[in-house]
Chains A and B, each alone.
Chain A
């Protein structure tokens, strides 16, 4: 570097930065683009990282590790006597856990976890993120009446519980006074002492016993010491959760990256406008002897400043946004996967570094093309409009060529999609291919409209030709808009199709009127009551198959829902065979997840661990099982109980005769069921849809935010265009063009471009939803559903886009009216 270069560098940089003092709007656009892009990406990333960190600690409870569980074979619970026996035998790392799902009097489902605080084998050192929570705090109030129930603050807000207040349960019981206190691994769960929970909930058994770290020899001794009705089950929760939720997190990451990409488009747009507005200054500096290299260095320094500012503010906003989104995500994770997410996210240095690197790379990318063009243009030509126009024209052709390559690559990869990541690569190629093709399509549309217009409509012809002048300035904003519209249409179709499929499925799956889950219900006592059309018991047995949690479920084949069972795959003859409990080997049904994620086909033989050893079954059908993250097999109750005599009773489904709900509930109480131990069909549907809507709440939030970002990009671009063309508008005005004519000339091409963008967004959105529903969803979650197309989102998005366009035009009209007198004065060369 020459001696004078550092001094020149500083003055060049200051000269470049002086642009933003004059054009704070462009600075704002840069910041908005960077901050929204980084914030949306960072929020998703923070939630993902936080969730993964929570899964890693899923085998811990309040800092205590559970490498295994001791459970009853029929999952009916573990008696305190068995626990005491094991402690006496010297197994000091065994501790009791109550893990129950309760329903509040307001109908909310909550999870309560309770353990013996004094028995917790707390991890030494860095195994857990927390120290012993009870060393400093007084734990006596927890174990002495009236006891305490610890609520994480987000859950307390959700349940509207204040400190000291008691949560009323649906069965009439009340939890102890609330203490708003969040502990590690607590997630969205209420925490209590195990003794207190047993007293309050009137339980006589623990859910299970957890086993802390034990050497292999001790584990063997423990397994041998267990009474026959108990079993030692390895705890795979951390691995299972990481595996089960991987696809969901990939989906979220993809949405975050899309938001980041749209944010970058805004930055690209802002950079383009700022470089365009500074082109004269850049040329002047070059005429003064500033080298292209030094100019490039100054622009890189400027982008570094932007990246720093964008990353800082973006991460801060992303952090705040993730705090807002976390409760909804945590509740969904709890409902869908039983995963407990910690209550607060934390920002790690590595996340800051990744965000800064991504932003810098993005800003660098946004700057690379214009800088390259600028560097290639000679000083003499850099003030020449025709040269720039030729560059723009060549740029559109180059983009279209790249688009075709991207679409070709997508077409070649599509048949080989076998993972969620590969699916998203194809999806990204299609979306960006479409976006890069847009400017050429707009150009061709303009040319087509121009040829159709008759010569005598000079104003319309002028208007269409003006589109050519507007396109270079608007094309990036239009591309960002196209990406957002496509994503919106695609994701809305996905969510709508899923919701409709779920509704149809629940209609057949939940045909019973009442579902009872009670350990004290005497089913025989219901007898042949007049109000009862049919009662069906359900049983289940859990095991691991293909190293994933799996349930074998028993169904009453004569029950109305089993009679109406619809197969996603399979034939009626095989279904009849299954109903009879026949087949050689034994016929079995499975959920679609076994087909798509377990790679099994109709007729495949599967081996399951029964009470008497491994047994082979023949898959004769696959059924829809929306929302289930695990594998599930189905057998008639009789067959199940023969093979798994200790299968747990999973409840009773009751079909009522006419409107006899009140009679039924009274009879249930008489037969030993307690209030709150049954659910009506409508309640289950309501809860299912509530979980569904909450799960997609983050998708909807990201969708809306991304659309807002794209709207802002368009707004910023249009304002910049009108600002830049103000002298031109003054010329027109001076020639006698009235405001109405001006509006026509400027607004019509804009509408033409927006219409082309919207028209292209529809097929692209359809392709996107097709890929999401038929490929990505199947690979990620293992279930299929029909694509249900609706024009509603298209009309809504079209309306919103037009509102944005007309709003910017209105601002432009006002600005032109305000500034025209000055512009006309300058035009007239007033020396005043």
Chain B
């Protein structure tokens, strides 16, 4: 029996602008089982980043509920969100967001240290797997983009989160490097048993995931038509639009 890591129920979000309201997400439902990976595909302005921000607690939904690892987070206070981010979530960004003044090793260990969860063997496995052994004493600006993203991935996994939220993690990399990083990322996520929700516009990168969802003008759909996905075992989406 599989447990659910992430559930969104009837989640909607509208931004109020001077020139009219923009509905970014409309009655979205999805669930991601624990230990599975999912890609959220969509064009620019489709609402995929807003969905990721809702799950990360950076934005509050107008309606609907969000559950992460069995906790209803929709009405979480800032303090509860801080605890959740520290203990359960990890974020990986297109711009890497490494601390520029810390060495590669310190960057990798930073979130694990904050959570009090430093595992030396995991550290070694991640460093070896991502090929960072020779770079540990360097500073981020001394690394290439691909190397920096590998450090960001190592940092996210080192923390042993239950859910990783990734925002276009290979968007800044060339195709070959992107493929390489993504392959490693997914392998390591599976190795650590975390769940992964990744936002991307690349179907190629999405193909590494267990399931793929498509967002179009705030409406989510399964993309099983595009690829064969067993949503019953992995994840599912539904929309309840009038």
Do the two chains bind? Answer: yes
Assess whether A283 is in contact with B101, with CB atoms less than 8 Å apart: no
CA distance A18 to B105 in the complex (A): 13
Closest approach, in angstroms, between the C-beta of A168 and any C-beta of chain B? Answer: 66
CA distance A280 to B141 in the complex (A): 14
Partner of B86, one of A23, A283, A288, A826: A288
List A389-440 residues whose CB lies under 8 Å from chain B: none
Assess whether A288 is in contact with B111, with CB atoms less than 8 Å apart: yes
CB-CB under 8 A from A504, the residues of chain B are none
Assess whether A8 is in contact with B114, with CB atoms less than 8 Å apart: yes
Assess whether A18 is in contact with B99, with CB atoms less than 8 Å apart: yes
Assess whether B114 is in contact with A289, with CB atoms less than 8 Å apart: yes
Assess whether A284 is in contact with B116, with CB atoms less than 8 Å apart: no
Q: Which of B78, B82, B173, B174 has the most CB of A within 10 A?
A: B82
Partner of B177, one of A7, A380, A831: A831
User: Does A733 sit at the interface, judged by CB under 8 A?
Assistant: no
User: Does A832 sit at the interface, judged by CB under 8 A?
Assistant: yes
User: Does B145 sit at the interface, judged by CB under 8 A?
Assistant: yes
Closest approach, in angstroms, between the C-beta of A820 and any C-beta of chain B? Answer: 15
Task: Scan B75-112; emit 1 where CB is below 8 A from any A CB, else 0.
Answer: 00011011111110101000001111110001000110
Partner of A831, one of B53, B99, B145: B145
Assess whether A380 is in contact with B59, with CB atoms less than 8 Å apart: yes
User: Does A291 sit at the interface, judged by CB under 8 A?
Assistant: yes
CA distance A400 to B61 in the complex (A): 38
User: Does B22 sit at the interface, judged by CB under 8 A?
Assistant: no
Partner of B97, one of A12, A22, A284, A831: A284
User: Does B58 sit at the interface, judged by CB under 8 A?
Assistant: yes
CB-CB under 8 A from B125, the residues of chain A are none
User: Does B113 sit at the interface, judged by CB under 8 A?
Assistant: yes
Assess whether A289 is in contact with B85, with CB atoms less than 8 Å apart: yes
CA distance A112 to B60 in the complex (A): 83
Task: Scan A420-463; emit 1 where CB is below 8 A from any B CB, else 0.
Answer: 00000000000000000000000000000000000000000000
CB-CB under 8 A from A292, the residues of chain B are 78
Q: Contacts A287-B97, A831-B145: A380 and B79 contacting too (C-beta < 8 A)?
A: no
CB-CB under 8 A from B111, the residues of chain A are 288
CB-CB under 8 A from B106, the residues of chain A are 15, 18
Number of residue pairs across A and B with beta carbons under 8 Å?
A: 85
CB-CB under 8 A from A284, the residues of chain B are 97-99
Closest approach, in angstroms, between the C-beta of A827 and any C-beta of chain B? Answer: 11
Q: Contacts A287-B85, A291-B79, A829-B145: A18 and B114 contacting too (C-beta < 8 A)?
A: no
List A268-285 residues whose CB lies under 8 Å from chain B: 278, 280-281, 283-285
CA distance A380 to B174 in the complex (A): 27
- Say whether chain A's binding surface is mostly helix, strand, loop, or mixed: helix
Closest approach, in angstroms, between the C-beta of B199 and any C-beta of chain A? Answer: 14
User: Does B146 sit at the interface, judged by CB under 8 A?
Assistant: yes
CA distance A287 to B78 in the complex (A): 12
CA distance A72 to B174 in the complex (A): 101
User: Does A379 sit at the interface, judged by CB under 8 A?
Assistant: yes
Partner of A11, one of B82, B97, B110, B177: B110
User: Does A4 sit at the interface, judged by CB under 8 A?
Assistant: yes
Question: Closest chain B residue to A9 by CB distance?
Answer: B114
CB-CB under 8 A from B58, the residues of chain A are 378-380
CB-CB under 8 A from B81, the residues of chain A are 289
Q: Contacts A289-B82, A289-B83, A829-B174: A4 and B110 contacting too (C-beta < 8 A)?
A: no
User: Does A830 sit at the interface, judged by CB under 8 A?
Assistant: yes
CA distance A110 to B106 in the complex (A): 67
Assess whether B100 is in contact with A7, with CB atoms less than 8 Å apart: no
Assess whether A291 is in contact with B144, with CB atoms less than 8 Å apart: no
Closest approach, in angstroms, between the C-beta of A22 and any C-beta of chain B? Answer: 4
Closest approach, in angstroms, between the C-beta of A226 and any C-beta of chain B? Answer: 80
CB-CB under 8 A from A832, the residues of chain B are 144
CA distance A19 to B100 in the complex (A): 8
Closest approach, in angstroms, between the C-beta of B75 and any C-beta of chain A? Answer: 17
User: Does B136 sit at the interface, judged by CB under 8 A?
Assistant: no
CA distance A280 to B98 in the complex (A): 8
User: Does A566 sit at the interface, judged by CB under 8 A?
Assistant: no
User: Does A740 sit at the interface, judged by CB under 8 A?
Assistant: no
Task: Scan B159-190; emit 1 where CB is below 8 A from any A CB, else 0.
Answer: 10000000000001110010000000000000
Assess whether A288 is in contact with B110, with CB atoms less than 8 Å apart: yes
Closest approach, in angstroms, between the C-beta of A711 and any C-beta of chain B? Answer: 28
Assess whether B102 is in contact with A18, with CB atoms less than 8 Å apart: yes
Task: Scan B197-228; emit 1 where CB is below 8 A from any A CB, else 0.
Answer: 00000000000000000000000000000000
User: Does A21 sit at the interface, judged by CB under 8 A?
Assistant: yes
Assess whether B101 is in contact with A21, with CB atoms less than 8 Å apart: yes
Assess whether B116 is in contact with A7, with CB atoms less than 8 Å apart: yes
Assess whether B114 is in contact with A288, with CB atoms less than 8 Å apart: yes
- A residues lining the B interface (CB < 8 Å): 4, 7-8, 11-12, 15, 18-19, 21-23, 278, 280-281, 283-285, 287-292, 378-380, 826, 829-832
Shortest 4 CB-CB contacts between residues of A and residues of B: A289-B86, A289-B85, A18-B101, A22-B101
Please list 12 pairs of residues, one from A and one from B, whose beta carbons are closer than 8 Å in the complex, sorted by A's number. A4-B116, A8-B86, A15-B106, A18-B102, A18-B106, A21-B101, A278-B101, A283-B97, A285-B114, A290-B114, A378-B58, A831-B177
- B residues lining the A interface (CB < 8 Å): 53, 56, 58-59, 78-79, 81-87, 89, 91, 97-102, 106, 110-111, 113-116, 139, 141, 144-146, 159, 172-174, 177
Contacts A281-B101, A287-B91 known; 20 new A-B pairs at CB < 8 A: A4-B115, A4-B116, A7-B114, A11-B110, A12-B114, A22-B101, A278-B101, A285-B99, A287-B97, A288-B86, A288-B111, A288-B114, A289-B83, A289-B87, A290-B86, A291-B82, A380-B58, A380-B59, A829-B145, A831-B174
